[in-house]
Chain A
Amino acid sequence: GAGVSQTPSNKVTEKGKYVELRCDPISGHTALYWYRQSLGQGPEFLIYFQGTGAADDSGLPNDRFFAVRPEGSVSTLKIQRTERGDSAVYLCASSLQGWENTGELFFGEGSRLTVL
């Protein structure tokens, strides 16, 4: 597709359940990012992939959160034992490699997660 695609666009789940959020980046973009945005806040960094490997996962809040990108393209953010505080919009972004592309992220429209 032309842009970053995220599915599902909306997910409602119950406390304690497991959730997977999917991101399909722009073709050819080697860098992929996950951010989380709560109401009235700016995006909060979670994890960054360069190819298949997580280059920086320092933003993952705890071990309930995990992300993979096994083939260097599609990524899945996995949340175990969801809590009400996990409710937010989860944003995925991708970018080209190279110093000249620093910070030029292409964002998807996000997956809105609501934990009841």
Chain B
Amino acid sequence: AQSVAQPEDQVNVAEGNPLTVKCTYSVSGNPYLFWYVQYPNRGLQFLLKYITGDNLVKGSYGFEAEFNKSQTSFHLKKPSALVSDSALYFCAATDSWGKLQFGAGTQVVVTP
């Protein structure tokens, strides 16, 4: 069984400050981990993924995420947030091809 937890419903950050969105996972096998973003009235968009290799993965729009096996975490980070980063962010996990398990989502609000 797989599960994904996003402990924060909302994250507020001032523009220019670092942004972190937290995610922990439970996967029975080797985890494949993902971040997606949903802008208002837009479909979900893939941001980045961890499959294997380096624990720090880089993705679109300056985002990165760090895989931590001992803490079963995959937190999303951005060094300097923009107002346009305001959106709903979803962490997802799987242990095989096909079926992604999504978290409940974290709303990010970046204020000018």
Using CB atoms and an 8 Å cutoff, list the residues of chain A in contact with chain B: 3-4, 31, 33, 35, 40-45, 48, 50, 55-56, 58-59, 91, 93, 99, 102-110
**Cross-chain contact A48 with B92 (CB below 8 angstroms):** no
A-B contact count (CB 8 A): 67
Interface: B17 (CB within 8 A): no
**Cross-chain contact B103 with A42 (CB below 8 angstroms):** yes
Q: Give 7 pairs: A residue, B residue, CB < 8 Å, sorted on A.
A: A43-B90, A59-B99, A91-B44, A99-B51, A103-B94, A107-B45, A110-B43
Task: Bits for B79-112, please: 1 = Cβ < 8 Å to A, else 0.
Answer: 0000000000010101001111111110000000
CB-defined contacts of B94 to chain A, threshold 8 Å: 102-103
Shortest C-beta distance, B16 to chain A (Å), equals 29
Given contacts A42-B105, A43-B102, A48-B98, contact A103 B49 (CB under 8 A): yes
Given contacts A31-B98, A55-B98, A58-B99, contact A106 B46 (CB under 8 A): yes
List of 7 A-B pairs having minimum Cβ-Cβ separation, nearest first? A42-B102, A107-B43, A107-B44, A48-B98, A109-B43, A103-B34, A43-B102
Complex Cα distance, B106 from A16, in Å, reads: 34
**Cross-chain contact A56 with B43 (CB below 8 angstroms):** no
Q: Which of B4, B100, B103, B105 contacts A103 (CB 8 A)?
A: B100
